[in-house]
Amino acid sequence: MKIVKAKTQIDDRYIERLQFNSLYLRDSEMKPGLLICYLFTENKNIDLTAIHLKASSPEVGIPWEWEYEYTAEEFREIYPTLQDFMAKFDREDFGYWEMQFIYKGAGCTVSCSGVKEEIGFEYPVEADLNILPLVTEIEDSSYEIHRYDKELVRRMKEIFRLNQRRAVQSLDKLAAHKDIYDEFVKVIYGGKQAAADHPVSVEGFTAGALAERYPLSVLGAYNYLIYLRERPKEALADLEKGLRRK
């Protein structure tokens, strides 16, 4: 999370601008601003009152081709899932959204364009809110929307004591190498014996051999296979000098 502009005051309202620099996008085509919008509507610590979405305007003075306004109840009834929401608004001419809600007893307004990861957050001067915890929650919740099996993520968190963000990031890293990822998933579900037949070997090492000979967890061993594949000279040198053998 990055504060783009210092808090400014206009009349009786503060306005802060913040950028999400660790927002998780399940695929590269997803518009970050639309995802942020939906994540705000799902947050349990705000009381959503209204949301306004409209098309981009081709030039100053030209009216928007479309715009929609919803109460919280209407929005949640019409768009119960992210997929429903994206099916309606993930379009080239989407421009801007704005929503009103109550947070810690204060009336707030958040706005954002469809394609940006930067929001404007407005609230009463008298409330003097610390909004970073809420915005961090929003960013963290983006890691709940991923392409992996939920049971796999749950096991990652349980076995390796990872939070949701680290679990998803770890799977993303592994998924960049399909053979390594596929074997890792087999091991998570079936144990070490699941990789006994034809294990992936990189520079003469398998994940099983690395985990047995060096102080590496199962996840660490598979990550090291990636290191061996991507930077073999450095990885082999580090095995020689840097890893204490078991």
Q: What is the pLDDT of residue 201?
A: 95
Q: Return the higher-pLDDT residue of 36 and 59.
A: 36
Query: In the chain, what percentage of residues exceed pLDDT 90?
Result: 75
Q: Domain check: are 74 and 92 in the same one?
A: yes
Q: Which of 9-13, 34-38, 114-118 has the lowest mean pLDDT?
A: 114-118
Across 69-73, average pLDDT: 96
Tokens 């450095």 locate to 234
Across 210-226, average pLDDT: 93
Across 65-92, average pLDDT: 93
Q: Domain check: are 135 and 202 in the same one?
A: no
C-alpha distances (whole Å) from 87 to each of 19, 90, 166, 223 are 25, 6, 29, 36
User: Domain of 156?
Assistant: 150-241
pLDDT digits (tens, 9 = 90+) for 146-184: 999 999 999 999 999 999 999 999 999 999 999 999 999
What phi-psi label fits residue 233: left (phi over 0), alpha (psi between -120 and 50 degrees) or beta?
A: alpha
Residue 58 confidence (pLDDT) above 80: no
Q: Which of 100, 120, 144 is the C-terminal boundary of a domain?
A: 144
Q: Which of 144, 174, 199 is the C-terminal boundary of a domain?
A: 144
> Strands 2-10 and 106-113: what pairing?
unpaired
Residue 63 confidence (pLDDT) above 60: no
d(CA 55, CA 67): 6
Q: Domain check: are 167 and 128 in the same one?
A: no
Q: Domain check: are 206 and 184 in the same one?
A: yes
Q: Which of 144, 168, 196 is the C-terminal boundary of a domain?
A: 144
- The pair of structure tokens assigned to 30 is 């997803």
pLDDT digits (tens, 9 = 90+) for 190-215: 987 767 788 999 999 999 999 988 88
Q: What is the pLDDT of residue 100?
A: 97
Q: What is the pLDDT of residue 60?
A: 53
Q: Return the higher-pLDDT residue of 57 and 52.
A: 52
- The pair of structure tokens assigned to 49 is 């009152």
d(CA 108, CA 53): 17
Which of the listed ranges 28-32, 52-56, 168-172, 211-215 does the model predict with the highest average pLDDT? 168-172
176 lies in some domain: yes
